[in-house]
Amino acid sequence: AMKGAIFDLDGVIVDTAKYHYLAWRALANRLGFEFTEADNERLKGVSRMRSLQILLEVGGMDADEAEREQMAELKNKEYVDYISRLESSELLPGAKEYLMFLRSRGVRIALGSASKNAAFILERLGITELFDAVVDGTKVAKAKPDPEVFLTASAELGLDPADCVVFEDAAAGVEAAKAAGCRVVGIGSADILGAADQVVGGLDALLP
């Protein structure tokens, strides 16, 4: 039975991908090239610095370490401007209800996100109290598909990974969860998330 549930943030609980996109596109435009929504798909679930690397590849650009740090900081400033205005109405359908349902069943709940802005986003959405543990980009060194984030989340819940179910929208996240030894529910399309144990369109599909 499921004793713990570990949730990815972007794409599972809230659609912050659109704000990541606006901020990355603004950076690309400033650097003099286009960055499309299709390009942005490649950034889902991917760490900030790896995202920048992909963006620079798209633009056929090179930058040294110091320049990349500066670019990432610029992008993040703009992204934080957007998420400062985030409202609880932007929670994905069924997200809050499913978290509350699991809690009522005694399931322990963790966040397992790559984002360094995760705690701030949970605050903005008013759902911080629904989590027993928050493991995010400020706590882990190795990005998904490395299992570190989910191993740490299970440990913080005091549970064996085999007793935890991970909810993920990105292929790299599904891979990371499997590698950690967790069961995985993919949120999105089975075309991309075929490695998951089960795939649903959204958390609303899991409500009783």
Binding to ligand B16 (CB under 6 A): which residues in 23-62? Answer: 43-48, 51
Q: List 164's β-bridge partners, or say none.
A: 4
* Residue 175 contacts ligand B16 per CB under 6 A: no
What whole-number distance in Å separates Cα of residue 31 and Cα of residue 138? 28
Q: Which stretch binds Mg ion (CB under 5 A): 95-103, 118-126, 162-170, 178-186?
A: 162-170
Is 11 or 161 the residue whose CB approaches ligand B16 more closely?
A: 11
Shortest CB 158 distance to ligand B16, Å: 23
Tell me which of 8, 39, 148, 175 binds Mg ion, using CB under 5 A. Answer: 8
30 is in an annotated binding site: no
**DSSP H/E element including 124:** helix 118-125
Q: Is the dihedral of CA 49, 15, 132, 190 positive or negative?
A: negative
Strand partners, 200: 187
63 vs 92 by CB, closer to Mg ion? 92
C-alpha 160/C-alpha 182 separation (Å) is 9
DSSP 204: G
Q: Is 10 a catalytic residue?
A: yes
8 is catalytic: yes
Task: Return the H-helix or E-strand segment holding 60.
Answer: none
Question: Which residues make up the interface to ligand B16 (CB under 6 A)?
Answer: 8-11, 20, 43-48, 51, 76, 113-117, 137, 170
